[in-house]
Structure 1
Amino acid sequence: MKYKKKCDTDLLIAKLFESNSYNLVHSFLGEMLKKGSSIITTNFDNCIENSCDDDFFTNTNKRIVYTGDDLNTSENPLSGMLIKIHGSNPLVNENNAELVITIKALAKTERAFIFFPKLKKYLLSLMKDKIIIVMGYSCSDDFDIVPLLEEANPQDIVWLNYNNEYQFPKIKNRIDNTKILRLSQKTHITYFNGQLQPYLKYWADKEKISLKEGMPEKRVTVSDYIKRICTNNVERKILCNEILLSYELYEEILNDEPNEIMKMQRIKAEFRLGNYKEVIKLCRQIENNKESNVKGENLYYFASALYYEKDYLEALRISQECITYSKQVKDNLLYLHAMINYASIRYVYATILKKGEKRELRKVEKIYNEVLEKSVGLSLEAKANALWGLGDLELYRGNVIHSKNMLYSALEILENIGNRYAIDQLLKIIKNIDEFHNP
């Protein structure tokens, strides 16, 4: 169960990014829009809009916002456009768009918006043969933007990387960011380090553009947000536990309330601490509640803990029960993760027994490939785990190079979505492979 489902179903966290003001950078970008430049941004706030005249965006052709659906038409202007490819907080009298703020939402936009062919075609047309200036982008979430840049065929990409050491950006031959470096090997990048505001102000003065800043405002604070989404003490503890789990503070988990979600959070913490017997005991307590609102997640961790305790037959039974349950409640995400769990347990059990091993491993491989196919556009985590499983399978078969390629592909996805626990586990496996095969 993820943060959205457990703590903030309406994703009110986006309110933290709302603003009625703007700064000099937004003002500069607004002026560039008026001059015919187009801007593609991943930001949710409306600071660029705020910097423009009140009637600038009354013409809807000036602004395209990702809504979770494809464009209605491929015919859109190719200049003076503001494109908000991860959604936006609404303007006045505007409905909320879908915000690409969760891992599930991000999965829908991967591979350069492949599931939105009209939007993808438009974005590529917008960038083709143009000079693209990249500002304030670290390349850390490279599921949709980087693939777009790879396909765009621009005239050049000018990358302005923020570095406080230089007041004005200076061209650098060396790119320290490995993801930007990898992109530069596929498309030409002119890379600069330096501060942004002085540079933009210099160009504004040169072009006789008057920049301005909006009035200071009281923004929604984290404290305001917590008060809004947590109506009682139990909800605050659940939110606190989610934060503690994210920061790997497993021993600090609060568990003093008779609440199933908090019990499930404790199960996660005990699992990550390696206390599998305790996990099994706690899972059995929840298992007895037929109306449990965490039943699917409980079955998943129950099977996983039984696997680590080498009770493989029971682990297989529980993992199959998890698959059946996911189908009953039509939870596609749970189904993918349950299938991964089942395949992993079945793989280890087959290699231990050695009975019908080749046949069993072919079945396991088929499951991993099914998850890999079905996870596209739905779950980046399941995609990473399927690649991880296939990598393990190839390693067992002695295909070390192929195995490592798959494991590194899984690692890249996990690093992008920030799954620290899985990253640490996978890095240990890769290190062991390197030590064994390259002593």
Structure 2
Amino acid sequence: MATLGDDTLTLQESLRAFLARYPCRGRRWVALSGGLDSTVLLHLLSADGEPVSAVHVHHGLSPNADDWAEHCAELTDSLGVPLLTKPVAVDASGGVEAGARDARYRVFEQLLQPGDQLLLAHHGDDQVETFFLRLLRGAGPQGLSGMRSNRPLGQGQLLRPLLDVARRDLESYAREHELTWIEDESNLDVRFDRNYLRARVLPLLHERWPLRQRIRRATQNLNESASLLRELADSDLQACRHRAERLGESIALDPFHTFSAGRRRNVLRGWTESLGGAWPNAQQLAELEQQLASAEADRLPAVPLGRLVARRFRDRLFLTPVLPEVPEDFSVSWDGRHPLLLPGEGCLGPLPGWPATEYSVRFRRGGERARPLERQHSQTLKKLLQEYGLEPWLRERVPLIFEGERLLAVGDLFLCEGWGSEAPEALPDWRPLAFFD
């Protein structure tokens, strides 16, 4: 019977103890690649009678990808486990490994509902590889603290119950239970950094040192340092964080610039992580700090941070999603009684107190003029949006609400002249971006 290295607990007993610390209030998922690790994890849960579902992400990168999906379907059928297979398109512009990981995690984030858990089968040898990869990339304490056994993901929770398990224990379990699994041919390609470490470097180190135990001790110590840095980031964020109803979160730059350079970088890391963005690397942080320090009032630097973008406007720094394109000449009819989804992930809420009629909603096309209610003269819409302080990245997607050709309202900024005594009290409820809610 496979045990956890030198411990007396079996894999089954260790998994039960781990899951007892994290009771599931929703649906429990296993990320199933079909490889050894996830196959053993799924079998362990199934054999223990745990209610579980599996999700297989079909990257389409290998000529064998369809066979892997079929293998996962056969495995889950044999175990009586529901399977969800999700094909994805991988953006390899930043590297195949990073693009595939981003695609997987987008699936996972969209999948998890409140109370759900996603179990990943990373084990102790993966932790060793991750430690050295991050060390060679110059990571700090947060990065070197290793993969976490649990963290929030989407609306649910990500768990890694096998981080204290050696791969050899998983292999022993698989042989004992006559399990079959797939081998990804890309794992043999030493052009990838992780594969090079696994095949060429770590075997030499394993000959001399008990790496898994030593790295575990190091990551535990580094975790303490990382926790203290997170606490400091949370405390500093409270001093400069601002939540706007329409725009999600920003930080005020005046108090932010009173921090030392190290504390500013720590705030940016903690803030980005808390909003689900990719951990900014040293180059991104340096670029962002340089632009924040040098940008004049009329400059609007934007720095990509994975799925988020850091943008400055006036005296604040915002984190927004990467904005999707909005179509030109957009126009749609609307009854004003039901929510209206807008291109680019925006939304207009119902219009309480507005007349029951047919409205049309458009985006800017250039050259529009508007006269806000109670003003004597009209102005160009471009100038009005600047005056009302609408963030520049939203000015092309602010909804203009018309009745016929009469402009009634501009987003949730102002009503236009022409209403007379019939003007409604409520401005439209405009949510330009579906994020951070």
Does the TM-score normalized on the shorter chain lie above 0.5? no
Compare CA radii of gyration and give the structure with the larger one. 2
Structure 1 or 2: larger strand share? Answer: 2
Structure 1 or 2: larger helix share? Answer: 1
What TM-score do you get using the length of structure 2 for normalisation? 0.27
- Higher RCO (CA-CA < 8 Å; seq separation 6+): 1
